[in-house]
Amino acid sequence: MKRFVVTLRCADRPGIVRATSTAIVALDGNILENDQFTDPVTGQFCMRTRFESETAEVDHVRSTLESELTEFTATLGVRQEDVLRRALVMVSTYDHCLAELLYRREQGDLPVDVVAVVSNHPDVEPLVTRYHVPFYEIAVTNESRAAAESELRRLLSRYQVDFVVLARYMQILSPELCRDLNGQVINIHHSFLPGFKGARPYHQAYEKGVKLIGATAHFVTADLDEGPIIDQDVVRVSHARVPSELVSLGRDVERNVLARAVKLVAEDRVALVGNRTVIFSQ
């Protein structure tokens, strides 16, 4: 039995579900999961369907869906479920998010293929090597920024990367790269956005005396800390926690939120509608 994940996006109109389900019946398929949402602001329709079939092949799934959906000019994604999506992880010196992703993948909790890790520092190489993942150090200075980005682009192409994860990567990507990889770069920001954008959010949180601190996983756009939010979480903190303790407590939230966001994207459960995400997760 093969399993397929189909994602679909188009302007909302009657008949889409019938067309899709007709195609799946034609593929001898049985639907396992089906989620859909119509955005009331944009009128955009999004759908994610997971089905199984003994006979279907991925190309045939795609062509069958396309022919049933011709009238809807839909954006279609088709993936055989056991062909994992390919992620490249970028990191600087804080390794807690990277360690979490690698550990969960090894445990079988994160269905993603981590094809390479890139860092602007050498520190995390031993951790990465231990998990038998290729490691690339690409130093970034003001002078080398353009060259570094070219090297990154070569790796993205060479490893056929589906999406990039910034796991506490402290360098900013150029607006061009942000645009080219729109919806394909996940970042973890160590605050409950939109509160505490920018630097040293835990110190900002301490100054402000908030009673909950948080972390936000979001898609990267050229507009810093403003991209579409994928997931967020918070943890209660008391007045007695000094900034260094907030950093420590925040680390736990960061790694959990990022791991959840990467899992959602790896399973094709995240759709983009304007500046907001739709999360298909029962």
User: Residues with catalytic annotation?
Assistant: 225
- The smaller minimum CB distance to a second copy, of residues 153 and 241, is found at 241
**In the complex with a second copy, which residue's Cβ is closer, 174 or 275?**
275
Q: Please, are residues 28 and 55 in contact by the beta-carbon 8 Å criterion?
A: yes
Q: Tell me, what amino acid is at 182?
A: N
What is the binding site for a second copy (CB under 8 A)?
12-15, 17-18, 21-22, 24-25, 28-38, 40, 96, 99, 103, 107-109, 130, 192-196, 207-212, 214, 228-234, 238-240, 242, 248, 251-252, 256, 273, 275-279, 282
Q: Least Å distance between CB 247 and a second copy? A: 10
Nearest approach in angstroms of CB 145 to a second copy is 30
User: Residue written as tokens 């993603």?
Assistant: 112
Write the DSSP string, 209-253. T-SEEEEEEEE--SSTT-SPEEEEEEEE--TT--HHHHHHHHHHH
Nearest distance in Å: CB 76, a second copy: 18
DSSP H stretches of helix in the chain: 16-26, 58-68, 96-107, 125-130, 145-158, 175-180, 201-208, 243-266
Long-range contacts of the stretch 261-264 (C-beta < 8 A, 24+):
261/186, 261/188, 261/217, 261/230, 261/231, 262/87, 262/101, 262/110, 262/112, 262/165, 262/186, 262/217, 263/109, 263/110, 263/111, 263/112, 264/230, 264/231
Nearer to a second copy, 169 or 280 (CB): 280
Q: How would you list the strands of the sheet with 2-11, edge to edge?
A: 30-38, 44-53, 2-11, 75-80
Smallest distance from a second copy to CB 170, Å: 18
Residue 54 or residue 66: which is nearer to a second copy going by CB? Answer: 54
Choose between 170 and 279: whose C-beta lies nearer to a second copy: 279
Least distance to a second copy, CB of residue 153, Å? 29
Q: At what angle do helices 201-208 and 243-266 cross, to 10 degrees?
A: 120
